[in-house]
């Protein structure tokens, strides 16, 4: 009987050590960056923010992200087409939602007030323009860079659609998850700069 109690105590001790040795999760967010000529500091230069003309309000119809990165965990590209999925380093919300929210507010900061229909806002009566974004790549690594390769299309009633491809590279100090979050925030700000200058 005493041997069973000792064995049970030993098992509970191991279980306790295992519980307390688990790594705590860290959570990261994408940050909005005000419009500046240096928002995309890195290997890709970005022109100064242009003030777009007033016109029909714009709403984001949707953002399509690559399946490999559209997840809660932070993902880093490695050599030989491998991905490192950091289970303890996670985004504070679904990554697609975070990208949509951040880009919408970055665009709003670069346009006249009321031009950008923000997530959750009531769509105004009358005509609106729809912005759709298909992201071919939004990745960190294997070098200390963030790569954003996106196609965006702006559609308005009775007008030919505007479509562009943007390729943005942001240098980061390391592949630490905090640096990745900062670099991705700057990449989205650079994308907002380019879209706002052309709509």
Is the pLDDT confidence value at 45 over 80?
no
When pLDDT is cut at 50, 70 and 90, the band that residue 55 belongs to is confident
Phi, psi dihedral angles at 22 (to 5 degrees)? -65, 140
Q: Report how far residue 193's alpha carbon sits from residue 34's, in angstroms, rounded to the nearest whole number.
A: 10
Q: To the nearest whole percent, how much of the chain has pLDDT over 70?
A: 80
The radius of gyration of the chain's CA atoms, rounded to the nearest angstrom, is 22
Is the pLDDT confidence value at 39 over 50?
no
For position 176, what pLDDT does the model report?
Answer: 98
Is the pLDDT confidence value at 5 over 90?
no
Strands ordered across the beta sheet of 116-117: 116-117, 58-64, 129-140, 145-156, 159-171
Q: Report how far residue 13's alpha carbon sits from residue 7's, in angstroms, rounded to the nearest whole number.
A: 10
- What's the chain's average pLDDT? 85
Model confidence pLDDT, tens digit, residues 102-118: 999 999 999 998 899 99
Contact assessment for residue 140 and residue 77, using Cβ atoms and an 8 Å cutoff: yes
For position 99, what pLDDT does the model report?
Answer: 98
Place of tokens 């998850």: 177
What pTM does this model have? 0.81
Which segment of 34-43, 105-114, 186-195 scores lowest on mean pLDDT?
Answer: 34-43
To which CATH superfamily is domain 25-196 assigned? ABC-type transport auxiliary lipoprotein component (3.40.50.10610)
For position 68, what pLDDT does the model report?
Answer: 85
Q: Report how far residue 22's alpha carbon sits from residue 3's, in angstroms, rounded to the nearest whole number.
A: 29
Q: Which residues contact 195 (CB under 8 A, 6 or more apart)?
A: 107, 131, 152, 164, 166
* Burial classification of residue 27, based on how many CB atoms lie within 10 Å of its CB (0-12 exposed, 13-18 middle, 19 or more buried): middle
When pLDDT is cut at 50, 70 and 90, the band that residue 57 belongs to is very high
Reduce the DSSP state of residue 7 to 3 states and report it: helix
């Amino acid at each position: 009987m005493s041997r069973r109690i000792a064995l049970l105590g030993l098992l509970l001790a191991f279980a306790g050590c295992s519980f307390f040795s688990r790594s705590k999760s860290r959570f990261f967010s994408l940050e909005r960056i005000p419009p500046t000529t240096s928002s995309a500091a890195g290997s890709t230069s970005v022109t100064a923010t242009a003030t777009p003309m007033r016109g029909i309000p714009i709403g984001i119809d949707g953002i399509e992200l690559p399946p490999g990165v559209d997840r809660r965990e932070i993902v880093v590209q490695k050599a030989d087409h491998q991905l490192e999925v950091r289970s303890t380093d996670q985004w504070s919300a679904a990554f697609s939602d975070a990208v949509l929210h951040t880009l919408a507010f970055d665009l709003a900061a670069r346009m006249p007030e009321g031009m950008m229909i923000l997530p959750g806002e009531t769509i105004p009566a009358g005509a609106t323009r729809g912005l759709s974004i298909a992201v071919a790549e939004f990745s960190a690594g294997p070098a200390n860079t963030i790569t954003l390769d996106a196609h965006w299309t702006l559609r308005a009633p009775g007008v030919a659609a505007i479509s562009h491809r943007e390729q943005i590279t942001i240098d980061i100090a390391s592949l630490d998850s905090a640096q990745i979050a900062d670099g991705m925030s700057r990449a989205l700000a650079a994308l907002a700069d380019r879209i706002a200058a052309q709509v």
